[in-house]
Amino acid sequence: MINLKNKYYIKCPHCGLNILKKELLNHLNYNHLEINKLPSTHNPHQEKVYSKNLVQSDLQASIETTLLSHFKNGFRVESPIELARLRRFANEECGLTLDLTDDELKNVIKTLGTLFEGKVYIISAETVKKIKSIVEKTFSNGTGLIFYKQFYELNEKWLFDGSIVSCDMLRSALENQFPRYSHRKNYFTNSDASKPELEWTLNEISRVWGDAILLNYNQIAERLPYIPIEKIKFALSQSNVFIWNSVETYAHLNKITISKNERTQIFEYVSKACSDNGYVSISDVPLAEIIVNNDELSITAIHNAIYNSCLINEFDRNGKIIVYKGDTVDALQIIKEYCEGVDKCSLDDLIGFEKELTGEVHRWIPMEAGYSILVRVEKNNFVAEKYVNFDLAAIDNAIDFFIKGDYLPIRAFTTFSLFPDCGYSWNLFLLESYCRRFSKKFRFDALSVNSRNAGVVIRKCNGLTYEEILVDAVVKSDIILEKNAIEEFLCTNGYIGRRSYSQIEELIQKVRSVR
């Protein structure tokens, strides 16, 4: 800018006049601005020619202005057509003859913008300045890392207007414009780049947690706008410091009130129980005062807190079962031991006991334990075997009357008129219990323990596996060898409990080889 007799003159290439006018109107309090060109001192028909060996700053400015005017959606740098268009526009609007080879011109273009997926995008100085301002302010406020995806989503409108058209392009631009930051695949930081992403995310959650005892996903995400919420969820699920309290809500371990004396008492209680019994359920640990002092927390959160703060260094935990480190505990064995000490119980009782032990429900575990120790006299009831009087020979003879071959689905027993009294009314559950543990001539097998009476009574002298029995049953039927038809046949006749079988294709192949 030159000041002559209180008038200002700005040197600008012809092709940049419209851009100059727009910028001046944006910064001056005028509704109209007239820009006049100074008289030219050279022949207006004379073209400016730049040599191959001299690429000056005003040439670069003119090329940049042309790219901004005509290639807002990016310049395909390897396209001969695009290069020809650029040369034409530069000539028509700026009076430039670009006396450069295509390779030389491409190199100039690449220095002016950001190369992304084969295109060069010209990012304005204003856009770069705005990015820098936000990034530096964010880091100065204590933020440790910024995820590219979140930064782009939060600023997409003006970034897109500034020719940054995607998150991946933003990353390329940041790497080019701000090489002093440490750039990783998903985020960049102004600090230690060797720190794992999970550790960084947990550090950020701790930094913004504040004095709250409980925070949910959305509350944490609001405090960490540059970390994706799915990263926050994953980090919380992997941490021993942040304790799950309820749906989408976590507690901070350091905000939970547990006195030193309470920690000592809990440790001593668990140590004694594990020494005496090999294990202890966390539900049995006395927690009265801790519950009172942390009334905002769920019992699940309190259990997790006492384990993570008092026991984690010396004990392992599986669900609700706690054992000394290196020891193992079998929920099935524990439930079997429980069954040995009862006269009767329901299946619901056993399922509840298993849930109390492990914190989860696996129906096969309590059913397997019940069948192993007790007698299932009804669908939901087990009794100790001393309350059932089995006449083994008479019962085996009755079973033998029904089974003409080597096996028979248990559902085929439709009457029990031939069965002797045993103290309980005969039914399929009682028959299964008998064949599982007491019969001298027969055994029971199934794909898995179940309450659907799916399974087969088999002569003990027959050594077929259950899979071999399924093949044999299909071979002897006239069913067509088609998946749905075979699964329907097996389910309807009581060989499987559901109309699906994971090994159906292998079964069909084996049947074909035999038929």
Q: In 139-239, where do the E strands start and end?
A: 145-147, 182-183, 187-189, 214-216
Q: Is residue 268 helix, strand or coil?
A: helix
Burial 132-159 (b: 16+ CB within 10 A, else e): eeebeebbeeebbbbbbbbbbeebeeeb
Whole-number pLDDT of residue 5: 40
Burial class (CB in 10 A: 0-12, 13-18, 19+), 372: middle
Residue 318 CA from chain centroid, whole number: 22
- Distance separating alpha carbons of residues 407 and 427, to the nearest angstrom: 18
CATH topology classification for 197-255: Arc Repressor Mutant, subunit A (1.10.10)
pLDDT given at position 20: 53
Contact (Cβ atoms closer than 8 angstroms) between residue 357 and residue 395: no
Q: What is d(CA 55, CA 105) in angstroms, rounded to the nearest whole number?
A: 10
CA–CA separation, 14 and 503 (whole Å):
77
Specify the higher pLDDT residue, 382 or 190. 382
pLDDT (tens digit per residue) in 295-317: 999 999 999 999 999 999 999 99
Nearest Cα residue to 371 out of 449, 454, 458: 449
Task: Say what the pLDDT of residue 44 is.
Answer: 37
pLDDT at 13 over 80: no
What are the pLDDT digits (tens) for 444-489? 999 999 999 999 999 999 999 999 999 999 999 989 999 999 999 9
Region of 152 please: left (phi>0), alpha (psi -120 to 50) or beta: alpha
pLDDT at position 143: 94
Give the confidence band of 50 by pLDDT, cuts at 50, 70, 90: very low
The residue ranges of every structural domain in the chain are: 10-122, 125-189, 197-255, 260-329, 388-459, 466-514
- Give the DSSP H/E element, type plus range, for residue 125: helix 125-140
> Mean pLDDT across the stretch 380-404?
97
List strand residue ranges (DSSP E) for 247-335, in order.
249-252, 280-281, 315-318, 321-324
506: Cβ contacts below 8 Å, ≥ 6 apart: none
| Least confident stretch, 180-184, 220-224, 419-423, 430-434 | 180-184
Cα distances from 256 to residues 212, 301, 304, 305, in angstroms, run: 10, 10, 11, 8
Burial class (CB in 10 A: 0-12, 13-18, 19+), 237: exposed
CB-based contacts of 169, cutoff 8 Å, min separation 6: 114, 116, 117, 121
**Alpha-carbon span 187 to 262, nearest angstrom:** 42
376: which strand partners?
A: 382
Rg over alpha carbons for the chain, rounded to the nearest Å, is 39
Strand partners, 321: 281, 318
Whether 197-255 and 260-329 share one fold: the answer is yes
pLDDT bin (cut points 50, 70, 90) of residue 9 is: very low
Cα dihedral 401, 407, 411, 412 in deg (nearest 10): -40
Return d(Cα 434, Cα 428) in angstroms, integer: 10
Total residues found in the chain within this entry? 515
**pLDDT tops 60 at residue 31:** no
Specify the pLDDT at position 367. Answer: 97
φ/ψ region of 157 (left if φ > 0, alpha if ψ in -120 to 50, else beta) reads alpha
- What's the CATH number of domain 260-329, 1.25.40, 1.10.10, 2.60.120, 3.90.320? 1.10.10
237 bridge partner residues: none
Res 56: pLDDT: 52
> Directed axis angle between helix 364-373 and helix 347-358, to 10°?
120
Whether the pLDDT of residue 96 is over 60: the answer is yes
In the structure encoding, which two tokens stand for residue 24, read together? 């001046």
Phi-psi region of 496 (alpha: psi -120 to 50; beta: other; left: phi over 0): beta
Query: Which helix or strand (DSSP H or E) is residue 139 part of?
Result: helix 125-140
Mean pLDDT in residue range 319-339:
89
Structure tokens at 451: 């309450």
**Looking at residue 32, what is its pLDDT?**
47
Which H helix or E strand runs over 2? strand 2-4
Residues whose CB falls within 8 Å of the CB of residue 362, separated by 6 or more in sequence, listed in order: 331, 354
pLDDT at position 159 is 92
The yes-or-no verdict on residue 269 having pLDDT over 90 is yes
Position 108 scores a pLDDT of 85
Q: 243: which 2 tokens?
A: 């304790």
**How far from the centroid of its chain's Cα atoms is residue 508's Cα?**
37
Q: What does the pLDDT read at residue 54?
A: 42
Q: Which pair of structure tokens corresponds to residue 97? A: 């003859």
Q: Is 256 helix (H, G, I), strand (E, B) or coil?
A: coil
* pLDDT at residue 177, rounded to an integer: 81
- Helix ranges (DSSP H) in 294-330: 299-306
Q: Are 429 and 377 in contact (CB under 8 A)?
A: yes
Mean pLDDT of the chain: 87
Please state, in angstroms and rounded to a whole number, the distance separating the CA atoms of residues 54 and 374: 96
Q: Summarize the confidence of residues 328-350 as an average pLDDT.
A: 93
**Which pLDDT score is estimated for 47?**
39
pTM for this one?
0.62
Overall average pLDDT of the 115-119 stretch: 83
Nearest to 188 by CA among 239, 217, 152: 152
282-294 residue pLDDT tens:
989 999 799 999 9
Amino acid identity of residue 244, one-letter, is: W
pLDDT of 465-476, one tens digit each?
Answer: 999 999 999 999
Query: pLDDT tens digits for 160-216?
Result: 888 888 898 899 889 888 889 999 999 999 987 788 999 999 999 999 999 999 999
Q: Which helix (H) or strand (E) holds 457?
A: strand 456-459
